Amino acid sequence: MNAEDDTDADGAGGAGDAGHDAVRPAAAAIGGRPTGPYDFEGRVALVTGAGRGIGAATARLLAARGARVAVNYHRSAERAREVVESIAREGGRAIALPGDVTDADQVAELVSGAAAALGPVDVLVLNASGLGAHEAAIAPATELAWEDLERVVVQQLKALFLTARAVLPGMIARGSGSVVAVGAALARRPAPRFLPLSVAKAGVKAAVRTLALEAGPHGVRVNAVEPNLILTELARHVPEPQRRAAAERAALRRNGTPQDIAEVIAFLASERAAYLTGGCLLADGGTAFA
């Protein structure tokens, strides 16, 4: 279960060494597809909610593998700046771009800003949920108001829909692109106290599969990763006994980390997953069958 939002406020930006690309080794290729460590060489990635947690780990990983990365944030400008600076220190290129992904006008500015600074978006990672960790309404259903459920579901689906709607037309026009949404294992295996997030993430799964059907004929892939309890800021709102119990239920006997999920996202976004679309890949440490 994950509710990355990274809702921050003022602008920040940065860039890596402009000459670094020239010294990177060329990736080997099979059938014209990159297979070396720099899977994303020459590509532009936009990661929403990338100032912390899964989003930050994903931005860093994609940059390390050659992508130029737009680090979106809403309320944590300083954290986004730190992500950009860490990418630059490693020789990558990134900029931080503000934007509330539940606001259509701000999403349009975000996407146009990324394209102006880095180029058209080739990889879109839909990580932001539109909710802060304290807004996830984690409580027994009998203690929730309708407004709690409505807020979580609407914000989550707006964050996905508005950003995908802004990016997909360009991908379709170019005949290529990859979209990866961050869902949750809750979509297939609900848990007590998580009714709003379970419903919202089920909506993410349905949206991903519908978009995959619509975009697939145009060469654009849409997938999702479905983590269980990941040690992000949301996990701080889960009681420690419940975190330990989640680790004990997993075949790997541990909770997942943002880096674990970033690796799955990078795979889904890469050409190594060229025949995979509409997939909702469960990343739960083996909890489903343990």
Give pLDDT tens digits along the chain (290 positions): 554 455 433 333 333 333 333 333 444 444 455 556 568 999 999 999 999 999 999 999 999 999 999 999 999 899 999 999 999 999 999 999 999 999 999 999 999 999 999 999 999 999 999 876 667 788 999 999 999 999 999 999 999 999 999 999 999 999 999 999 999 999 999 888 889 999 999 999 999 999 999 999 999 999 999 999 888 877 777 778 888 988 899 999 998 999 999 999 999 999 999 999 999 999 999 998 86
pLDDT of amino acid 10? 33
For residue 106, the one-letter residue type is Q
The β-bridge partners of 225 are: 182, 281
Q: What are phi and psi of 44, to 5 degrees?
A: -110, 130
CA pseudo-torsion sign 200, 205, 210, 214? positive
**CA pair distance 108, 203, nearest whole angstrom:** 23
Task: Give per-residue pLDDT as tens, 155-209.
Answer: 999 999 999 999 999 999 999 999 999 999 999 998 888 899 999 999 999 999 9
Q: Which residues of 78-93 are buried (b: 16+ CB within 10 A; e: fewer)?
A: ebbbbbbebbbeeebb
Q: How many CB atoms are located within 10 Å of the residue 150 CB?
A: 12
**Predicted TM-score (pTM) of this structure:** 0.87
**CA pair distance 126, 130, nearest whole angstrom:** 11
pLDDT of amino acid 138? 85
pLDDT of amino acid 35? 53
pLDDT of amino acid 36? 61
For residue 46, the one-letter residue type is L
Q: What torsion, rounded to 10 degrees, do the Cα atoms 221, 163, 42, 12 define?
A: -160
